[in-house]
Amino acid sequence: MSVATHQLLLALDYGGTKHTAALLVPGEQAWLAHGRVYAPPGADGAWDQAAMLRLARELLAQHPGRLAAIGVSFGGPVDAGRGVVRLSHHVPGWEETPLRDRLQAELVAPVAVDNDANVAALGEWRFGAGQACDSVFYVTVSTGVGGGWVLGGRIWSGADGMAGEIGHNVVRPGGVPCVCGKAGCVEAEACGWGIAAKARRRLDEGQKTKDEGERLLALSGGRADGVTAQMVAQAAAEGDALAQELLYGAAEALGMGIGAALNLMNPQRVVLGGGITKSGERWWQIVRETARAHALPQTRAEIVPAALGDDAPLWGAAALAQSLV
């Protein structure tokens, strides 16, 4: 029966609170099947693994074929060489889990596992905004900042699986205190929590004029501690001078970090994803101009928006699976 000889790729994305599985025919750019499960409060690593396995088996049962390979994105540090999850940033019970070997044993197919930022970079390179590039630096700027490299068509994860951590490079010495213990890191200066923290501090210090902070404070119902990065972006678009200063200062900090990455690695393209990248054209202009000003003129990387949004890790998992067949 010829249908049974169809090759299938399985892509798995273990997120923080939701887990997604999808099936793909090698060479195709659309899902054959797709399913998602949300983790209930109190779920742990064992729950996550059982739920994902059940989801994968349901998809495979509905679509006859030969499972040729499995690619996995995991939301937390991974030892990609050994296919071992170090831990989850979201739930307990994932510590030192040999995820590759377990999936290989359960589903009887070769498996590749990497962390979500690296896998998302591969996804954008293979299916998204980095197509046809030899090298891509992918940076996601949302609540935090993550990054991943694709060099010569392969993920570069570094000696300890840590490559891509632009978020903790200092661009403003003595600047916003960062979760890592330093101050003025790209993450502290440019990501969601950093922008919101800076906005709250400035509002607490008291607004100076009608145009400075008034609009921003109105958006948060008058409570400085309710301000979010999204409100800052909206107030900036509406002409609030304080919000503009904060948002464009954040864009500048990111641009400085990217400029330094261009000098160090000279990638062909930089792909930016995450919620903060929806902050408007002026934000993009400042990121690009600052990166350009900080990079040597001979580095010519384009800086472009991500194309796959939240699906980048799942598409990247498909690309990982594809690389095994």
Q: What residues contact 310, with CB distance under 8 A and at least 6 apart?
A: none
In whole angstroms, how far apart are CA 85 and each of 78, 80, 81, 99, 270? 4, 8, 11, 6, 27
Query: Applying CB under 8 A, does 112 fall inside the site for a copy of itself?
Result: no
Identity of residue 223: R
Contact 166, 258 (CB under 8 A): yes
CB nearer to a copy of itself: give 41 or 174.
174
Alpha carbons within 13 angstroms on the beta-carbon side of residue 111 total: 22
Out of 149, 248, 283, 315, which residue is the one contacting a copy of itself (CB under 8 A)? 149
Burial class (CB in 10 A: 0-12, 13-18, 19+), 159: exposed
267 binds a copy of itself (CB under 8 A): yes
- Residue closer to a copy of itself, measured from CB, 78 or 308: 78
Contact pick of 73, 118, 157, 277 for a copy of itself (by CB under 8 A): 157
| For a copy of itself, the closer CB: 25 or 265 | 265
Handedness of CA 300, 126, 94, 111 (dihedral sign): negative
Q: Which residue from 199, 271, 294, 312 is in contact with a copy of itself, where contact means CB under 8 A? A: 294
- How far does the chain reach from its first CA to its final CA, in angstroms? 22
Which of 163, 271, 272, 306 binds a copy of itself (CB under 8 A)? It is 163
Long-range interactions of 293-297: CB distance < 8 A, separation 24+: 293/255, 293/259, 294/255, 294/256, 294/258, 294/259, 294/260, 294/262, 294/263, 295/258, 295/259, 295/260, 295/262, 295/263, 296/262, 296/263
Question: What one-character-per-residue DSSP string does 244-258 give?
Answer: HHHHHHHHHHHHHHH
Residue among 136 and 224 whose Cβ is closer to a copy of itself: 136
Residue 276 binding a copy of itself, by CB under 8 A: no
Which is nearest to 190 in space by CA: 139, 144, 241, 138? 144
Minimum CB distance to a copy of itself, residue 84 (Å): 14
Distance between CA atoms of 139 and 207, rounded to whole angstroms? 33
| Residue 299 found at the interface with a copy of itself (CB under 8 A) | yes
173 belongs to the binding site for a copy of itself (CB under 8 A)? yes
Nearer to a copy of itself among residue 218 and residue 293 (C-beta): 293
**Site membership for a copy of itself, residue 44 (CB under 8 A):** no
For residue 168, state whether it binds a copy of itself (rule: CB under 8 A): yes
Residue among 4 and 296 whose Cβ is closer to a copy of itself: 296
286 binds a copy of itself (CB under 8 A): no
Q: Given the complex with a copy of itself, which of 49 and 115 has the nearer CB atom?
A: 115
- Among residues 37 and 87, whose Cβ is nearest to a copy of itself? 87
With binding defined as CB under 8 A, does residue 244 bind a copy of itself? no
Per the listing, tokens 């989850």 go with 88
Q: Say how many residues touch a copy of itself, by CB under 8 A.
A: 42
* Nearer CB in complex with a copy of itself: 121/241: 121
Judged by CB under 8 A, does residue 144 bind a copy of itself? no
- b/e for 273-288, b at 16 or more Cβ within 10 A? bbbbbebeeebbebbb
The residue range among 50-58, 95-103, 148-156, 240-248 that interacts with a copy of itself, by the rule CB under 8 A, is: 148-156
- 164 binds a copy of itself, rule: CB under 8 A: yes
Binding site for a copy of itself (CB under 8 A): 77, 134-135, 147, 149, 151, 156-166, 168-173, 180, 182, 256, 259-261, 263-268, 293-294, 296, 298-301
